Structure 1
Amino acid sequence: SCHCAVSRVIAQWQDEAAAFGRRDLSGTDYVYLWVDGIHLKVRLEQTKLCLLVMIGVRADGRKELVAITDGYRESTESWADLLRDCKRRGMAAPVLAVGDGALGFWKAVREVFPATREQRCWFHKQANVLAALPKSAHPSALAAIKDIYNAEDIDKAQVAVKAFEVDFGAKYPKAVAKITDDLDTLLEFYKYPAEHWIHLRTTNPIESTFATVRLRTKVTKGPGSRAAGIAMAYKLIDAAQARWRAVNAPHLVALVRAGAVFHKGKLLERPTDITPPQPPSNGHERTGTEVA
């Protein structure tokens, strides 16, 4: 019958998803990592299945699914289990992880990959700030928030934060605190190549991928079990992956991994780039020392 054929396909997908979850990671270097917990409806159990999803950017600039499993979005233990498993299979600490501040991921990553830097997702942060404001304040607040993460460098972003505080701090201190309390991790992305900023300030690669998954799982009335749910989501992401574009300026990802320092989004080649060059004292052109 038709049902048997569907069951066979889903069983095959489950095998593929399981093999994916066991694969060796030692040959792949994920420099950037996006993380999120995505809720899907599961029909039989009448519960929502939460998928913990990690998408990475390899040293060559290509985006790739790193891991997908079920767990609890806010649970440190769920994320720590996943990260420890990835580490056991050879995954190196990513340079930067991007995700919503509410995730249990952050405590977990500090334990498993303490060297990884943290960037809070502006997509989630914006929603949290607006939720703390009356509807009437939304248009002006949204514009003020965008001024922060669209600023042309970190100094201008800091100025925009101050402007946000001045405009909203007196009436809505709680909304302002949502930004000022997390400021370092909200502005972390400015320390990376300017071409990568658009990729690093939100978890959009996960959100946009799952916009289609949600739609399909509704159409198919939801998978019947947790394993089937993971398998379906895995196959949908696996199919979508073929169409993912590499990040902008992919050649700069390897430099980020190598520890290159970026100032205002540009590769800092000489220490003299930060301070304005002093006028030569003896009339001869001063030569800046090149640093490889």
Structure 2
Amino acid sequence: MLKTIRSIFYASSKKKALEFHRKFVEHWESDYPSVVKCLHGSMEACLRYLDFPEEEWISLRTTHVIERLNKEFKRRTKPTEIVPGEESCYRLLAFVSLKMELYWRANPMGKVKENLPFFKQIREM
């Protein structure tokens, strides 16, 4: 089931994603009707990222960027048990945010995704 769902969200176009969704419904509806109903009901919202340029899909499709930023905030603030004041805390968080932004601009995921075997496999389907 996971492979089928992944094929929907990693499709190379909205048309292909909807085709994979149709196949998912046909294959799994009899065994897992509640799962199919839940996914089917929110499919349009789930595929909204496909309305944007393809190079932005990878960051719009997941919450990884947000999770990574929160993890970095925690990593930087945990060793600092006492912060001199609220402004100092804001400056620290702003510094961490800026550092992550510069990293993401220098290493966009779009450059990497072309080399991942999973993406090549999905395109060939």
TM-score clears 0.5: yes
Aligned length: 108
Distance in structure 1 (CA, Å) of the matches to 2:2 and 2:102 = 34
TM-score (norm 2): 0.64
Distance in structure 2 (CA, Å) of the matches to 1:211 and 1:158 = 34
Q: Per the alignment, in what secondary structure is the counterpart of residue 78 of structure 2?
A: helix
2:84 equivalent to 1:234: no
Greater strand proportion: 1
1:161-240 equivalences under 5 Å are 161-221=21-81, 227=86, 231=90, 232-240=92-100
Distance in structure 2 (CA, Å) of the matches to 1:198 and 1:152 = 11
1:152-163 equivalences under 5 Å are 152-163=12-23
Greater helix proportion: 2
Q: Per the alignment, in what secondary structure is the counterpart of residue 30 of structure 2?
A: coil
- 1:155 Cα deviation (Å)? 1.6
The RMSD of aligned alpha carbons is 3.1
Q: Structure 1 pair 219/185, CA: closer, same or farther in 2 (3 Å)?
A: same
Show structure 1 runs of 5+ residues with no match. 1-140, 250-292
Identity of counterpart residues, as a percentage?
A: 26
Q: Per the alignment, in what secondary structure is the counterpart of residue 170 of structure 1?
A: coil
Q: Per the alignment, in what secondary structure is the counterpart of residue 219 of structure 1?
A: coil
4+ residue stretches of structure 1 with deviation over 4 A?
221-225, 227-230, 246-249
Distance in structure 2 (CA, Å) of the matches to 1:162 and 1:182 = 14
- 1:154 Cα deviation (Å)? 1.3
TM-score (norm 1): 0.31
